[in-house]
A and B are shown apart, each in its own frame.
Chain A
């Protein structure tokens, strides 16, 4: 079955880079996603990468995909206190049944 794993916690200092890692098992995933959830809120789609790409950059966000190792990462440059949230990695299979990881709780220290 499909499974997505992430480390549960990450702490960084304000201004540093954050790297959140994710591994997945479904090699037929079409897209892989990163979502952000702030306390008491829904999930915000941050970015996504098509499975035949290996990198995507969007302002402070860089997504790296290693399809061979089924490893996805999200790098946030110049991390700010407003970036403190839970970050979910997710995969899909042609749009069916998005599978989410457990989420990585990012804490940004002043």
Chain B
């Protein structure tokens, strides 16, 4: 049973471009969470999704950010028109519902 898979591991974008981050949850997990970690800081919750539904997006900026978890395929976190302040590590976690969330290795986004 593979763990949570995130790709790409590293992503470089120029200001104004779009960034697409992918997350494949562990097999059998239907809950997906996205977190952002700024350098030397803790994790900040962004969004919680179940298949085809956004359950809680209270931590996600209203503009430029969107997330989806389709019936088939990975969860996608999309950042449009990236700015330097979007540079961070973005972690995805999946859970079967209780007992803890398991994290991927993260995608490190650098905006130049």
| A33 vs B97: C-alpha distance when bound (angstroms) | 14
* CB neighbours of B58 from chain A (8 A): 97
The reply to whether A45 and B43 contact each other, CB–CB distance below 8 Å, is no
B43-80 with Cβ < 8 A to chain A: 43, 45, 48, 55-56, 58
Task: Tell me the A residues contacting B by CB distance below 8 Å.
Answer: 30-31, 33, 35, 41-45, 48, 88, 92, 94-103
| A43 vs B45: C-alpha distance when bound (angstroms) | 14
Instruction: Select which of A41, A44, A92, A100 is within 8 A of B42 by beta carbon.
Output: A100
* CB neighbours of A94 from chain B (8 A): 98
The reply to whether A102 and B41 contact each other, CB–CB distance below 8 Å, is yes
The reply to whether A101 and B101 contact each other, CB–CB distance below 8 Å, is no
Task: Tell me the B residues contacting A by CB distance below 8 Å.
Answer: 4, 31, 33, 35, 41-43, 45, 48, 55-56, 58, 91, 93, 95, 97-106
* CB neighbours of B100 from chain A (8 A): 31, 33, 45, 48
The reply to whether B43 and A30 contact each other, CB–CB distance below 8 Å, is no
Instruction: Select which of A31, A41, A48, A100 is within 8 A of B43 by beta carbon.
Output: A100
The reply to whether A103 and B101 contact each other, CB–CB distance below 8 Å, is no
| A35 vs B95: C-alpha distance when bound (angstroms) | 14
Instruction: Select which of A88, A95, A100 is within 8 A of B95 by beta carbon.
Output: A95
Instruction: Select which of B4, B55, B93 is within 8 A of A98 by beta carbon.
Output: B93
* CB neighbours of A101 from chain B (8 A): 42
The reply to whether B45 and A98 contact each other, CB–CB distance below 8 Å, is yes
* CB neighbours of A100 from chain B (8 A): 35, 42-43, 45
Chain A: minimal CB distance from B90 (Å): 11
